[in-house]
Amino acid sequence: GAGVSQTPSNKVTEKGKYVELRCDPISGHTALYWYRQSLGQGPEFLIYFQGTGAADDSGLPNDRFFAVRPEGSVSTLKIQRTERGDSAVYLCASSLRAGGLNEQFFGPGTRLTVL
């Protein structure tokens, strides 16, 4: 079946602009995760959803970052007033359920470049 998909694959924007990044999880997966990966680093946790609710948003760096999952499937990561330091690959992952025994499947990521 289809894996996790993310759109767009690349996004170039100017400092101060607003961006939305979309994630389509694997069908039937109730848990969805967002990570940010800077160049030369491992993924860094941002937020995870169980169903429609954000169960843990402790990784969001500041209030410019926000994510929603209104129907418990597709999720959108929203970044306001983008800064050059926001440039990174944003990865989405989904798992059947939350919890350490449930494998997280990653999408290919969205590469965000803020000029």
Partner 1 sequence: GQQLNQSPQSMFIQEGEDVSMNCTSSSIFNTWLWYKQDPGEGPVLLIALYKAGELTSNGRLTAQFGITRKDSFLNISASIPSDVGIYFCAGQTYNNNDMRFGAGTRLTVKP
Q: How many residues of this chain interact with partner 1, rule: CB under 8 A? A: 28
Question: Contact with partner 1 (CB under 8 A): which of 20, 22, 45, 51?
Answer: 45
CB of 19 or CB of 92, closer to partner 1: 92
DSSP 8-state secondary structure symbol assigned to residue 17: -
Map tokens 């500041």 to a residue. 62
Q: Which stretch binds partner 1 (CB under 8 A): 14-22, 66-74, 76-84, 90-98?
A: 90-98
Burial of 48 (0-12, 13-18, 19+ CB in 10 A): buried
Chosen residue from 26, 109, 112, 114 binding partner 1 by CB under 8 A: 109
Q: Sign of the CA dihedral 33, 36, 41, 44? A: negative
In angstroms, the CA 61 to CA 50 distance is 20
Binding site for partner 1 (CB under 8 A): 4, 31, 33, 40-45, 48, 50, 55-56, 58-59, 91, 93, 98-101, 103-109
